Amino acid sequence: MDKKSDTKHLTHIRDILSEALSKYSPPRKTEITQIWEIWDLVLGSSISQNAKPDTFKNGQLQVIVSSSVWIQQLKFLEKEMIANLNQGLDSPLITHLRFKIGRILS
C-alpha cells in the first residue's frame, strides 16, 4: 500500500473540531449570549474593561467587576445600565444587576 492511498482516509482536524463543537454549542442564542454580544457596544469601553456579564437567571444579571470601587460606581449607574442593555436587546429581559468582584476575562 502506498502513502497516497493512506491519505484518502485522513480527516482534517478542522472538520473533527467543527463536528465536535457543534454537538456542544447551544442550538439557539441564549439570553446571556445576547447580553455578551451587546455589552461592550451598549455600555462603552470604560465599563466593559472593568465589568463583564457572568450569569443570567429570572431577570437578574450577575456582573463580574474588577474592584469594590467599580461596584460602587456601577451601583449608581445600575438603572441606566439596565435601560441601555434592555434597549440593546430589544426586550426588557434584565430587571436587576448583581455585582461581584472577580477576574475580568476579555
In a domain, 12, yes or no: no
The domain total for the chain is 1
In a domain, 59, yes or no: yes
> Which comes out higher in pLDDT, residue 97 or 15?
97
Of the candidates 29, 86, 98, the one whose C-alpha atom is nearest the C-alpha of residue 57 is 98
In a domain, 18, yes or no: no
What range does the domain containing 86 cover?
A: 29-101
Q: Tell me if 65 sits within 8 A of 17, measured CB to CB.
A: no
Q: What are the pLDDT digits (tens) for 23-80?
A: 666 556 789 999 999 999 999 999 999 999 999 999 999 999 999 999 999 999 999 9
Distances (CA, A) of 13 to 4, 17, 79: 19, 6, 47
> What value does the mean pLDDT take over residues 5-15?
70
Q: What's the pLDDT at 46?
A: 95
In a domain, 8, yes or no: no
User: pLDDT tier at 13 (50, 70, 90 boundaries)?
Assistant: confident
> What value does the mean pLDDT take over residues 6-22?
71
